[in-house]
Amino acid sequence: MVTGAGIRRRLGALPIIGRLRRRAERQRLIARGLRSRTALRAISDRTRRIERGDILCFVTLRDERARLPWFLSYYRAMGVRHFLIVDNASQDGSGDYLCAQPDVSLWWTDHGYKAARFGMDWINWLLLRHGRGHWCLTVDPDEFLVYPHHDQRPLAALTSWLDAIGRRSFPAMLLDMYPKGAIEDAVCAEGQDPFDVARWFDPANYSIQKNEYFGNLWIQGGPRTRAFFTHDPLAGPALNKIPLVKWSARYAYVSSTHMLLPRGLNLVYDEDGGELISGCLLHAKFLSSFSAKSAEELDRRQHYGGSQEYRAYHAGLHRGVQLWCSESRE
């Protein structure tokens, strides 16, 4: 006999239900992005200079003036042709500095970072408006992409190769880099390579789960989980990222750059034992500027999960925690 619950269970097993749900979710995200365009005020719109096939970089930032020179020069050298940046009410002159750059288009907003799904609504809008048909790199100002042969081949070599083999997205795990010694003492001068100072990382302590619904891998671990989240490691930050995507109007980032819709874009790993290509986002967060930033972000409470991350960091930093340990690697 077929019971009602049995039928429901069988329906739930049908992939079509999940597909319809994901489609609805994707359309909702795109609609949110469309709505959020009113929040953005163009300060300097140089997007007409974008040419066909250019690689674009999308950033949301707030008070990152000191990082910007190195950030821009790093990605320019890699072959990014245009930067599309949302300034979330910076007060340290980031806006003026960016306005003066010939390859930067700048939008300004003082809307809530959290209300805009941590900036992703703004980015989804800019991607939809300007990113279609381009390879788009979405990063934070403290994330620096590396990929196989990055010292020899420009980013365009990678993207044309990805085009040739028919891939639309490129994964890069977020790798937290940290200094040896107290974080407060790790001063990185403006325009200096942050990885001269923060040159250490955790080599082997990452956990991976697969998210069947979105198809992405959920990677956690690293120094943050080891040092800040000992009381609740499961709440530690996610490190899986897909920052480089050949954008289409149908795409949307779901949560930060951790996952996208449609689901196929998240399937960046081989399940038959082989290896696909992946890169790494070096995360230059743990420098002397971090302490002040975490105190400020704690006041604003504009980050994930009630700023739990920053709260944990701040508590940790007050105790003078070092991230370096004898097993760290350079």
Partner 1 sequence: MKAAVRLGVVLLCHGDLDLVARLARIWTSGGARVALHVDAKVSAAKVAGLRRSLQDCDQIIFSRRHRCSWGRFSLVRATQDAAAELLQRFPDTTHVYLASGACLPLRPISDLTAYLAADPDRDHIESVSTHDVGWTVGGLNHERFTLFFPFDWKRHRWLFDRFVAWQRRRGIRRRMPAGLSPHLGSQWWCLTARTLRAILEDPRRAEFDRFFRLVWIPDESYFQTLVRLHSTTVESWSLTMAKFDHAGRPYCLYDDHVAMLAESRCFVARKVWPGAAHLLSHFPLPDEGRPQVDPPQPARISRIINQTVRRRVLGRPGLYMQSRFPRKDAENGKTSAPYAVIQGLTDIFPGFEDWLRGHLSCHVHGHLFSPEGAEFAGRPRVGPGAISSDPLIRDRDPQGFLTSLIRIADPMQVFQFSPRDNQALNWFMATDPHAHMLVVSGAWKLPLLHSGMPFDDVRRIFAQLQRIELEQLDVLNSLWVRARLHHHDLGEFLLNPRTILQDFLLQIDPHSLPITTLPAMRDLTGLDGMLRRLRNSGLRPRLTGEDLPPVELLTTEREAAE
Q: Which residues bind partner 1 (CB under 8 A)?
A: 149, 152-154, 156-157, 160-161, 164-165, 171-173, 202-210, 217, 219-221, 223, 225-226, 230, 232-234, 240, 268-278, 325-328
**Cβ 251 to partner 1 shortest distance, Å:** 19
Helices 289-300, 304-318: axis angle to 10 degrees equals: 140
152 forms beta bridges with: none
HSE (CB half, 13 Å, CA atoms) of 189? Answer: 2
CA atoms of 255 and 145, how far apart (whole Å): 19
Closer residue to partner 1, CB minimum distance, 143 or 202: 202
**Cβ 107 to partner 1 shortest distance, Å:** 30
**Cβ 134 to partner 1 shortest distance, Å:** 16
Determine how many CB atoms are found less than 10 A away from the CB of residue 131. 25
Q: Given the structure tokens 């999960």, which residue do they identify?
A: 305
Closer residue to partner 1, CB minimum distance, 40 or 239: 239
Closer residue to partner 1, CB minimum distance, 277 or 295: 277
Closer residue to partner 1, CB minimum distance, 45 or 232: 232
**Cβ 198 to partner 1 shortest distance, Å:** 15
Q: CB-based contacts of 50: which residues, under 8 Å, 6+ apart?
A: 56, 81, 82, 130, 134
CA atoms of 82 and 89, how far apart (whole Å): 21
**Cβ 278 to partner 1 shortest distance, Å:** 3
> What DSSP line would sit under 78-131, residue for residue?
HT--EEEEEEES--SSHHHHHHT-TTEEEEEE-S-TTTTTTTHHHHHHHIIIII
**Cβ 248 to partner 1 shortest distance, Å:** 19
**Cβ 139 to partner 1 shortest distance, Å:** 16
Closer residue to partner 1, CB minimum distance, 15 or 273: 273
In degrees to the nearest 10, what's the CA dihedral of 14, 20, 26, 31? -160
For 235, which DSSP code?
G
Tell me phi and psi for residue 312, to 5 degrees.
-65, -40
Closer residue to partner 1, CB minimum distance, 123 or 162: 162
Q: CB-based contacts of 20: which residues, under 8 Å, 6+ apart?
A: none
Closer residue to partner 1, CB minimum distance, 61 or 260: 260
